[in-house]
Amino acid sequence: MTVQVVTGTGTEIGKTVVTAALAATALASGRSVAVLKPAQTGLSPGERGDAAEVARLAGPVTAAELARFPDPLAPATAARRAGAAPVSPEDVAEAAAKLATEHDLVLVEGAGGLLVRFDERGGTLAEAARLLAAPLLVVVPAALGALNATALTAEAARARGLEVTGTVIGGWPERPGLAERCNTEDLAKAAGAPLLGAVPWGAGGLSPEAFRAAAPKWLAPALYGRWDAAGFRETWAAG
């Protein structure tokens, strides 16, 4: 089965938009795609969650959500406050494996960072990835502070025996500063894995048609796109 776990160095850094871009490029290459959001927090019933947002932007994917909790908190905390059963890593692995029997690619989008707790036992997305033997794609910010957070995430992943496919910048600014331009070189060193794309800041605000047309330009061939890492670094290298 082909399962890719999408995590990040923190919250609000573009995981959902990167997941949508990856889904769009995979669909364009002829693959069937499912997107699984194990625990959606901060939304009420009826509001569009992350999996549904991926489907809106990317196109005809199967969107699945295991649980939803109203408070915008870590899944374990949000479940406890809601008096609801939490999602466990085993739940995530079982759902993803089932989706993988019917789709070419399953994208599992985490909440927050890699070690955010799903349940009171301390289960995390990292444990779900281990159960699935699935690699991690790490969404990272472009700005100052990205290198430390990226290195910590990659180190935590490898300490648990997980493979890091690479990193994708979740929001590349229109006018990058010195830190962002230096990070075009240094993110790969921090992660110990290649930089595989850069999604423009605000890409989630595009129309679905424009998003799908542009997505292949944001992601590398390893992610079904045609983004040129060497050209990107040459364009934005710090002087």
Catalytic residue, candidates 15, 37, 189, 217: 37
Sort strands 136-140 and 164-172 into parallel, antiparallel or unpaired.
parallel
Q: Using DSSP, how many helices (H) and how many strands (E) does the chain show? A: 9, 7
**Nearest in space to 145 (alpha carbons), one of 195, 185, 189, 180:** 180
- CA separation for the pair 186, 179 (Å, rounded): 10
Q: Residue 112 belongs to what H/E stretch?
A: none
Centre a 10 Å sphere on the Cβ of residue 205 and count the other Cβ atoms it contains. Answer: 10
- CA separation for the pair 84, 118 (Å, rounded): 12
**Nearest in space to 213 (alpha carbons), one of 229, 197, 225:** 225
Catalytic (active site) residue 37: yes
Residue 153 C-beta-side C-alpha neighbours within 13 Å = 34
> 206-225 in b/e burial notation, b at 16+ Cβ within 10 A?
beeeebbeebbbbbbeebbb
**Phi-psi region at 231: left, alpha or beta (left = phi > 0; alpha = psi -120 to 50):** alpha
**Which residues have a catalytic role annotated?**
37
